Chain A
Amino acid sequence: MTHIILRHHDVENIHELSVYQANGGYEGLKKAFSLGPKAVIDEVKKAVVRGRGGAGFPAGLKWGFIPGGDMQKYIVINTDESETGTFKDREILEKNPHQVIEGALIAAYAVGATKIYNYWRGEYMDAAYACEKAIKDCYASGLLGENILGSGFSCDFYNHFGAGAYICGEETALLNSLMGDLGQPWSKPPFPAQEGLYGKPTVVNNVETLANIAPILVNGADWYVGLGTDQSNGIKVVCLSGHVNRPGNYEIEMGKVTYHQLIYGEEYGQGMRDDKGFKALLPSGGSGPVVTADALDADVSFEGLNPFGSMMGSASIIVMDEDTDMVWATEKMTHFFKHESCGKCTPCREGTFWLEKLLIKINKGRGTQEDIQKLERVATQIQGKCLCALGEFATSPVLSTIKHFMDEYKAKVNTAVPVPAD
């Protein structure tokens, strides 16, 4: 299959403007100019490009929320990518930056935005070099700046670098951070489409979401709808990591590849490392509920894991073999969420701390049966009460491992040396 997003696998040096253009680059933008903004939004709506940042909200709908009128509007690209196990956006922007720039320009044209900010996690600064170069080349060739390609549409593009905070991937936290504040989310409404960056209507889209846009304009929404499943149109870049032989990013058509194929397929993971048995996988970094072998035949799509109480999310698949200590893994993930909790809302701030305390205790062999119940209770107590989804995410490794691996928890507390009550 030829790649639609990870095109560097098929076309050498696609990060160069000339190569990108020689291979159909910026034709989508030209098409957009010829269609006019409203038709562009309609086309993207028709294609139903669900957001690749994890939440799966259709991009066309989101663009459609941007009010008309002359006020300043913004496109913000979410390149924060900090979820454990996620590394696709870096590769896309490093190897095929123009496709993201083009997608963002089409979005900007469609909603009437004249400034695009690309918010990178600070750790990706080195990887941003290709993008910096691409921006420069675009300005030099009239693809950015005043009156782009004589269309009358003008737009600027700026890279902006964060400084290490997972929460800045949440769109409102990202916007706060971009405005020079602490990267803490705000309580929605207002949604960014109403009051986003600097209080102005703003579209926040994931890198991969935007990378889908130009091909859709070039090939038409019908082509895109023809790919994937009913609920999951098009293709998806999955990040495969953990105990597989060949971790990495793979582009797949949604609904056409199972998790099993991803792990064992020759063109994908090429099997479990050291030929160990499979135990479990996290389908969406730390934040999606863990699934076990029975889910391996599910296909990778937004709906594929529904029967298993989990979800595709950003498709950051962390694979764990039979030797993996699941309580240890849960502590790792919980530590991540505790470390990254911004502290703004009570249940997340206090709850993640409490969860980690309990897990450390259990892992150290000091836990009791009661602590497992407590763990479950605290996680449940966090649910439905947080300001943003981070707190909710933090509960999923805990609750899903308790569900699937209660025996491992029990084994830990049963060997526990009894300790005096606190």
Chain B
Amino acid sequence: MLKEKYAKEIESLLARYPEDKKVSAILSLMHIAQKEYGYMSQEAKEEVADILGIDPTHVLSITGFYSLYYEEPVGEYVLEICNDLACALRGADEFIDMACQKLGVQKDEITPDGLFSIKNVMCLGACDRAPMLQCNLKFHEHLDEEKFDQLIDHYRQRAAEGDDRAHEVVDKILIETHH
């Protein structure tokens, strides 16, 4: 249960907003819920609704509206590759094809080991460093085939070591830095 596990963090996130406007914290709570459940599962939605005292329909609405929330299970590491115009001018479309081929999956599929899925996304605000991708909110820029291989190895190794820092960005910003 998020409520218990992240009691302190949730409290500090809620504290950012006025007394009767706690629903403002919904996006942050959903980032935490998604870190916990991997995607916005039914459970995740219900728990967020419960914390905020709102109907789960609202959480469902929000899930569908914002592209960073996943409605279906995804790999432990989600590689979101921008192929918007500025990146595409620097080879992003080819880069996605290469990435899919390397991992042996199509876009939006999960690798058989459950480690990766690939999505193509709209501009991530790193057009000067294309091709680039974000993996669980961590940016990897100036990529090419070789760097992509290294990245995949890096995450594979982490997984092999049982590293639980797959969501290090959310951890760092929403979990560890509460004040």
Of A222-230, A253-261, A328-336, A366-374, the stretch lying at the interface with chain B is A328-336
Interface size on A, residues (CB 8 A): 59
- Main secondary structure, interface of A, reads mixed
Of A154-162, A298-306, A386-394, the stretch lying at the interface with chain B is A154-162
Q: Is the CB of A123 within 8 A of B24?
A: no
The answer to whether residues A161 and B125 also contact, given A84-B85, A85-B86, A286-B85 and a CB cut-off of 8 A, is no
Task: Say yes or no: is A177 at the interface (Cβ < 8 Å to chain B).
Answer: yes
Which positions 210-234 of chain A face chain B at CB distance < 8 Å?
Answer: none
- A89, A182, A239: the one contacting B127 at CB < 8 Å is A239
Q: Is the CB of B127 within 8 A of A318?
A: yes
Which positions 12-62 of chain B face chain A at CB distance < 8 Å?
Answer: 16, 18, 21, 23-28, 30-31, 52, 61-62
Q: Is the CB of A126 within 8 A of B137?
A: yes
Residue of A nearest to B21 (CB): A198
Q: Is the CB of B85 within 8 A of A318?
A: yes
Report the separation of the CA atoms of residues A336 and B67 in the bound assembly, to the nearest whole angstrom.
13
Report the separation of the CA atoms of residues A159 and B84 in the bound assembly, to the nearest whole angstrom.
27
Q: Is the CB of A123 within 8 A of B134?
A: yes
Q: Is the CB of A163 within 8 A of B30?
A: yes
| Interface residues as binary, A98-135 with B (CB distance below 8 Å gives 1, 0 otherwise) | 00000000000000000001000111111111001001
Report the separation of the CA atoms of residues A340 and B173 in the bound assembly, to the nearest whole angstrom.
26
Q: Is the CB of B170 within 8 A of A162?
A: no
Q: Is the CB of B86 within 8 A of A249?
A: no
Residues of B within 8 Å of A159, CB to CB, are 173
Q: Is the CB of B68 within 8 A of A332?
A: no
Which positions 106-149 of chain B face chain A at CB distance < 8 Å?
Answer: 121-130, 134, 137-139
| Interface residues as binary, A154-187 with B (CB distance below 8 Å gives 1, 0 otherwise) | 0000111111111000000000011110110000
Task: Say yes or no: is A252 at the interface (Cβ < 8 Å to chain B).
Answer: no
- B31, B61, B86, B173: the one contacting A128 at CB < 8 Å is B173
- B86, B128, B173, B174: the one contacting A84 at CB < 8 Å is B86
Task: Say yes or no: is A143 at the interface (Cβ < 8 Å to chain B).
Answer: no
Report the separation of the CA atoms of residues A89 and B69 in the bound assembly, to the nearest whole angstrom.
23
Task: Say yes or no: is B177 at the interface (Cβ < 8 Å to chain A).
Answer: yes
Report the separation of the CA atoms of residues A85 and B123 in the bound assembly, to the nearest whole angstrom.
7
Report the separation of the CA atoms of residues A179 and B62 in the bound assembly, to the nearest whole angstrom.
12
Q: Is the CB of B31 within 8 A of A163?
A: yes
Residue of A nearest to B89 (CB): A242
Task: Say yes or no: is A64 at the interface (Cβ < 8 Å to chain B).
Answer: no
- A126, A163, A241: the one contacting B69 at CB < 8 Å is A163
Task: Say yes or no: is A3 at the interface (Cβ < 8 Å to chain B).
Answer: no
| Interface residues as binary, A68-92 with B (CB distance below 8 Å gives 1, 0 otherwise) | 0000000000000111111101100
Residues of A within 8 Å of B21, CB to CB, are 179-180, 198
CB distance from B3 to the nearest CB of A (A): 18
Residue of A nearest to B61 (CB): A182
CB distance from B117 to the nearest CB of A (A): 16
B residues whose Cβ falls under 8 Å from a Cβ of A:
16, 18, 21, 23-28, 30-31, 52, 61-62, 65-69, 84-86, 88-90, 121-130, 134, 137-139, 169-170, 172-174, 177, 179
A residues whose Cβ falls under 8 Å from a Cβ of B:
81-87, 89-90, 117, 121-129, 132, 135-136, 139, 158-166, 177-180, 182-183, 198, 239-243, 247-249, 282, 286, 318, 320, 324, 329, 332-333, 336, 339-340, 342
6 closest A-B pairs by CB: A180-B23, A164-B67, A163-B66, A247-B128, A164-B68, A241-B127
**Interface CB pairs A-B, < 8 A, 12:** A82-B123, A87-B128, A89-B125, A122-B31, A124-B125, A126-B172, A136-B177, A161-B28, A162-B66, A163-B68, A318-B85, A339-B122
Known pairs A126-B172, A127-B139, A160-B28; list 7 more (Cβ under 8 Å): A82-B123, A84-B123, A87-B125, A122-B31, A163-B66, A182-B61, A243-B90
